[in-house]
Structure 1
C-alpha cells in the first residue's frame, strides 16, 4: 500500500469522542431538593404497603380492615370515623386489640389505637362490655406501661385511667401487676406529675381497697383523702 493510500485511510477513520458530561439543566427539576412542605407535612405510613403490612399485629389488623374506623385528617385536628356506631360494636376483641395498639410508635397507628380505645370506653354500656374481658385488656395495657418508649408509656397510662373510670373497683384485682412500671417512672421527674395524677384517679375510681394496693407498691404515695 502506498503512503498516499495509508494517509487517506487514516484521514477517513472515525474519531472517538468522549460523551459530554451532563449539564446541570439535564438534572430533573426538584431532584434532591427538600421542599418546605416536606418538613411541615412529614410522610406517614402507608398501611397498605407490603413492607409495613407485617410490621406488627395491630398494623396488620388495621390494614386488613379489622379496626372498624379510619383516621380522618382535619386542618386543625384529626378524628376517627367509625363504620358504625361504637355502641353497636362488640368489645371482644376490639377493645383488647386497641389496648395492644397503644404500644405502636408510628402514625396513624398511635392515633387510631389511643383515640379508638378512649371512644369505645365512652359508650353507655362500656362497663358491662369491658368487665368480661378485663383480664385481657389489663394485660395489654401492661405491655404499654412497661414499654421503653416514653410516648407509649404515657398512652398506656392514659388508657389505664380511662379503663379505671369505667370499671371502677373491678380493676383492683389487676392493679398490683400494673403498678410496678408506674413506681419506676415515678422516679423520673419527666413523668412524676403524670404518674401521681394517675395514681390519685386510680384511688378515686377504685375505692378504699385500691389505696392499700397502691401503697403496697408505692409506699410514698399519699392518699387523696389524707
Structure 2
C-alpha cells in the first residue's frame, strides 16, 4: 500500500467508460465511510491542468511523441507532489482517471518504440505505481464511437482514429499481463451498473477492513 492510503488508477481506451466508473467507485467508497480523492490525468493539480489544455487540444500533430512524454511527466510530477502524495500520507483513497500506464501506451507504444524512454523517465521523476489498476476493457470501434459522440474540446487523441484505439486496447491488455499483481480487467461492454458492481467487488477486495 502506498504510504498510509490506497492508490487506485483506472485505465482504458477512449470511450471505455473508465471516467464514469472512477466516479461511481468514489461515490461507493464515500458512502462506505472512506475518505476519497477523485482526480485525473493529465491534471489533478493547478499546474497539471494547465498542461492538460496543451496536450489534449489542437491538431493531432501538434506535438511529437517525445515532447508529449515530457509534458505528461511534468504534469504527473506536479500532480504527485500537490495532490496524490499528500492524500495518501493522510490515509485517503486516491482514485485517478489515468496514470502512467496511459503514457506507456499513448506515447511509449503507439507513436514509436518509446516505451523504454517512458519507463526511464517515470523511474527518475515519478517512482510511484498504483496499488490497484482497474482496466475497463472495450471494443475499439464502440469505444471510439462513444468518445467522438461527446463532441468536447479535448479530442486530440480521438482524432488519431480507430487504428490507435486498436493498438491501445492490445497494449493495455499486455500491460495487464505484465503487471498482473496490480491490474484487474473488467468488461466494459455491459450496462453501467453491471460494470460498476464488478469494479466495486475488485476495489473492496483490495481495501483493508475497517475497524469497528
Shared topology, TM-score over 0.5?
Answer: no
Asked which structure has the greater CA Rg, the reply is 1
Greater helix share, structure number: 1
Q: Could you state the TM-score of these two structures normalised by the residue count of structure 1?
A: 0.27
Q: Could you state the TM-score of these two structures normalised by the residue count of structure 2?
A: 0.28
**Which protein, 1 or 2, shows the higher relative CO under an 8 Å CA cutoff with sep ≥ 6?**
2
Greater strand share, structure number: 2
